[in-house]
């Protein structure tokens, strides 16, 4: 069985120069995870082989080169993408790539996305959290979303640490390490990404760009659990949309398993969304390939659904060649 993983991170050392940025406080700059982020060659592939992972789609971790001002972000994203393309070129059967984009300048981001897809042969792009204080439903980003739609390439919306005003309002008064973890993986960035996704629905972004495809991780960022209530409540005030909020998870939105390796959330997502909209991801190196593969091997799924989640959905969405293991 072929296994493709979609939220697998690396770090380009060029991005370490962004140390003055607010997001740097959340960065793990040293230690085993930092070493694993830096290594995108034989050691990573050996670990993939050991755990039965055929292909990783690589994306830059936070802090990402997208977060700085356009004058720095435009050349930095291009260089990070070029260097990532060189790595993928050395191991084309083992790695794919999501581009980093200078989202503070949507026109430049649209051009870089087109270059990454048409010239570097990337599978899409990853955008991390709010950009310059704006959510992606802001008309400011329409040129970028239009380009993604026209290219038929997905955007992976990944969490990022909260903006400083949010950090100060919601997570102040706690011991610093507790506040930091609660604001990110412990709760905060999942809630923010869920809100971001629902804003895109509620604002009519998917009606304006009906072929736009969005991927969100972490088993749907808590949305599947709430989706019936979202339909009930949000549906009252969004009658102008072409379909109920939940229906966009059948036409425009995909979820991945990244970082959630207990069965109940997956079984719930399968009941709510169906196997056709779920993709496998590990969130390497923040989660290990071993943990992800053990989770996969313990699942009680029929072979058709398991194949969809492990590789067939990814092949279809990312237009990857169907190469059996």
Helix (H, G, I), strand (E, B) or coil at 63: coil
Residues in contact with 153: Cβ distance below 8 Å, sequence separation at least 6, in sequence order: 113, 117, 122, 123, 124, 125, 213
pLDDT at 28: 54
Q: Tell me the C-alpha distance between 184 and 203, whole Å.
A: 25
Q: Which pLDDT score, from 0 to 100, does residue 65 have?
A: 84
What pLDDT, on a 0 to 100 scale, did the predictor assign at position 24? 55
pLDDT of residue 100: 97
Task: Give me the sheet containing 214-216, strands edge to edge.
Answer: 4-10, 55-60, 95-99, 124-128, 155-158, 214-216, 253-256, 278-279
Pairing, β 124-128 against β 95-99: parallel
Please report the pLDDT score of residue 254 as a whole number: 98
pLDDT of residue 323: 67
Query: Is there a contact between 202 and 238 (Cβ–Cβ < 8 Å)?
Result: yes
Query: Which of 74, 137, 135 has its CA nearest to residue 102?
Result: 74
Could you tell me which residues are beta bridge partners of residue 55? 4
- The token pair at 303 is 């072979």
pTM for the structure as a whole: 0.95
Tell how many helices (H) and how many strands (E) occur in the chain.
16, 8
C-alpha span between 204 and 240 (Å, rounded)? 8
SS3 272: helix
What's the pLDDT score for residue 20? 45
Q: What is residue 18's predicted lDDT score, i.e. its pLDDT?
A: 60
> By three-state DSSP, how is residue 98 classified?
strand
| C-alpha angle 219-222-228 in degrees, rounded to nearest 5 | 110
Residue ranges and CATH numbers for the domains of the chain are 4-318 (3.20.20.140)
Q: Positive or negative, the Cα torsion across 1, 98, 316, 287? A: positive
- 235 and 245 Cβ atoms separated by less than 8 Å: yes
Distance (Å, whole) CA 176 – CA 180 = 6
What gap in Å lies between CA 246 and CA 223, rounded to an integer? 10
Backbone phi, psi, residue 215, to 5°: -115, 135
CA-nearest of 200, 317, 191, 300 to 256 is 317
Per-residue pLDDT of the chain (325 residues; tens, 9 = 90+): 999 999 999 999 888 666 545 455 555 555 789 899 999 999 999 999 999 999 999 999 988 888 888 999 999 999 999 999 999 999 999 999 999 999 999 999 999 999 999 999 999 999 999 987 899 999 999 999 999 999 999 999 999 888 889 999 999 999 999 999 999 999 999 999 999 999 999 999 999 999 999 999 999 999 999 999 999 999 899 989 999 999 999 999 999 999 999 999 999 999 999 999 999 999 999 999 999 999 999 999 999 999 999 999 999 999 998 864 4
């Amino acid at each position: 069985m072929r296994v493709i993983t979609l939220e697998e991170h690396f770090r380009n050392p060029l991005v370490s120069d962004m140390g003055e940025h607010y997001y740097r406080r959340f960065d793990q700059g040293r230690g085993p995870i930092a070493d694993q982020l830096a290594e995108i060659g034989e050691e990573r592939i050996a670990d993939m082989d050991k755990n039965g992972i055929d292909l990783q789609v690589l994306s830059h971790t936070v802090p990402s080169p997208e977060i700085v001002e356009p004058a720095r972000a435009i050349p930095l994203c291009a260089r990070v993408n070029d260097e990532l393309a060189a790595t993928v070129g050395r191991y084309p059967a083992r790695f794919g790539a999501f581009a980093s984009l200078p989202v503070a300048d949507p026109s430049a981001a649209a051009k870089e996305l087109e270059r990454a897809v048409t010239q570097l042969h990337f599978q899409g792009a990853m955008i991390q959290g709010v950009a310059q204080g704006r959510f992606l439903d802001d008309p400011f980003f329409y040129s970028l979303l239009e380009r993604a739609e026209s290219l038929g390439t997905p955007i992976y919306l990944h969490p990022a640490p909260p903006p400083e005003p949010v950090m100060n309002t919601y997570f102040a008064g706690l011991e610093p390490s507790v506040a930091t973890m609660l604001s990110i993986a412990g709760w905060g960035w999942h809630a923010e990404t869920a809100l971001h996704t629902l804003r895109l629905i509620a604002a009519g972004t998917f009606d304006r760009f009906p072929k736009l495809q969005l991927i969100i991780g972490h088993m749907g960022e808590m949305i599947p659990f709430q989706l019936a209530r979202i339909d009930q409540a949000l549906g009252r005030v969004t009658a102008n949309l072409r379909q109920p909020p939940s229906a966009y998870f059948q036409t425009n939105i995909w979820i991945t398993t990244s970082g959630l390796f207990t069965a109940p959330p997956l079984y719930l997502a399968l009941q709510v969304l169906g196997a056709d909209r779920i993709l496998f991801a590990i969130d390497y190196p923040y989660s290990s390939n071993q943990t992800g593969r053990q989770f996969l091997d313990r699942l009680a799924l029929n072979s058709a659904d398991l194949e969809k989640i492990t590789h067939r959905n990814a092949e279809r969405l990312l237009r990857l060649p169907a190469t059996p293991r």
